[in-house]
Amino acid sequence: MRAHVIGLGGAGGRIVDRLAADRDHERFLHGVSAFDTDRTALASLSAVGEDRRHRFGDVASGEGLAGDLHAGREIGDAHADELCRAMDDQRPSLAEAFVLVVGLGGGAGGGAAPALAAELGRLYDTPVYAVGVLPTTPDRGDAAAPSTRDPAERTSGTAPPAATAEPTRPLSEKNAARTLSALSDRTAAVFPFDTDAWLRRGETLTDARERINEVITAHVSALFGAGETDGDAVTPQQVLDASDVARAVGETGEIAALGYATQRVDAPESTSSRFGLGLFGSDESAAVDASTAISAIETVIRKATRGKNTIAVADGRADRTLLIVGGPPAWLNREAIADGRRWLADETGSGAILSGDAPVPGSEEVFALVVRSGIDEPDRVRAIRESLP
């Protein structure tokens, strides 16, 4: 589908910058934008051109908001229409989905995302999805510094001196709880990314940032890039479109999980025309052994389902499931995909299973993406919500 992907705040901007660096040439990426109050953070982006970056909220004087969600909400409400206008040169009316990418623990991104989602929904008859990066827990380091005052509970007085104030949880978790609730009310679906689960032992978020950004962009690309092929590419056997994604994830702000896996395969050799030199016909890929293809497809589907997801799914269960299998056309065995779909229905207990394939000529790997929606609230999300009093 044609997606306009918008990075909000520092974390969202970095992820979208990575997406643009890796995928800007692909047809599904209809538009890319990065919005932030922080001039320095925007200037650090390289793949998102200056014409696709926009600083908003002059009240912040070009600086970040230091996690102040209250200020972020006020600025977001005041500038949502301005942010929509900043996208006009990229023809957002042609997009089939808007994807907001935001670090849920931040002030600028978390503050502006709900207002922007609401404004996009008012202007366009197009689903708005949110990819929300959850903050790390305090014991993992790199979490936002603790604060003695919650900006959402401001009064006209001043905060008590730090020496006498009671300690509170890191501000990032409270921000994430509030932003998650606001996005659920204003988007079609929210895809949380559990940063903690993807950190390796002894690794800090700073150490892992590039790798984690790559993981997020791979998941986003696999979902929104499926079904959007070049005009001369191989046509999928089961075409996936924007309505299939909408049916799978719903439209009421439910939480959805993504599982993704790849497996390297041998590219099939080409066979030329029997007349020699290929003058009377184009080269065609030789057939792949059926049992080998079936094994590869079965493996990636099971890894995508039972492996590490963007957010843990309790017992693997879901009301609705979407399966996308992609890779070299010769490897996309129809029987294997049908078997995988039946296995996935049993595994998830889903009453509704949708599927599609994504041929990628010239690729050297097969992949599977499993999308689960209508899931029980993940433990990490519940813990974040419980950070609020």
Amino acid 65: pLDDT: 80
- Between the alpha carbon of residue 208 and those of residues 67, 69, 310, the distances in Å are 21, 25, 15
Q: Whole-angstrom Cα distance, residue 358 to residue 234?
A: 9
Q: How many CA atoms lie within 13 A of 159 on its CB side?
A: 15
Pick the closest to residue 328 from 364, 380, 281 (CA basis).
Answer: 364
Write down the pTM of the prediction.
0.87
Are the C-beta atoms of 378 and 247 separated by less than 8 Å? no
Structural domains in the chain?
Answer: 3-225 (3.40.50.1440), 254-373 (3.30.1330.20)
253-296: per-residue pLDDT in tens?
Answer: 999 999 999 999 986 665 444 444 433 333 445 678 999 999 99
Q: Is 232 exposed, middle or buried (0-12, 13-18, 19+ CB in 10 A)?
A: exposed
Amino acid 32: pLDDT: 98
Average pLDDT for 32-51: 96
228-242: per-residue pLDDT in tens?
Answer: 665 555 666 777 889
The token duo for 79 is 């500038």
Amino acid 171: pLDDT: 84
Phi/psi of residue 308, nearest 5 degrees? -70, 125
* DSSP codes joined into one string, 266-335: PPPPEE--TTSTTTTS--EEPPPPHHHHHHHHHHHHHHHHHS-BSS--GGG--SEEEEEEEE-GGG--HH
Q: Is 78 exposed, middle or buried (0-12, 13-18, 19+ CB in 10 A)?
A: middle
Radius of gyration of the chain (CA): 22
Are the C-beta atoms of 348 and 372 separated by less than 8 Å? yes
Amino acid 306: pLDDT: 97
Residues 6+ apart with CB under 8 A from 238: 337, 355, 356, 357
348-383: per-residue pLDDT in tens?
Answer: 999 889 999 999 888 999 999 999 999 999 999 999
Buried b (16+ CB within 10 A) or exposed e, 196-226: eebbeeeeebeebbeebbebbbbbbbbbbbb
Pick the closest to residue 192 from 386, 52, 384, 388 (CA basis).
Answer: 384
Sign of CA dihedral 151, 156, 161, 167: negative
Amino acid 67: pLDDT: 83
pLDDT over 50 at 152, yes or no:
no
For the chain, count helices (H), then strands (E).
Answer: 11, 12
Residue keyed to tokens 């779909």: 341
Q: Whole-angstrom Cα distance, residue 101 to residue 115?
A: 14
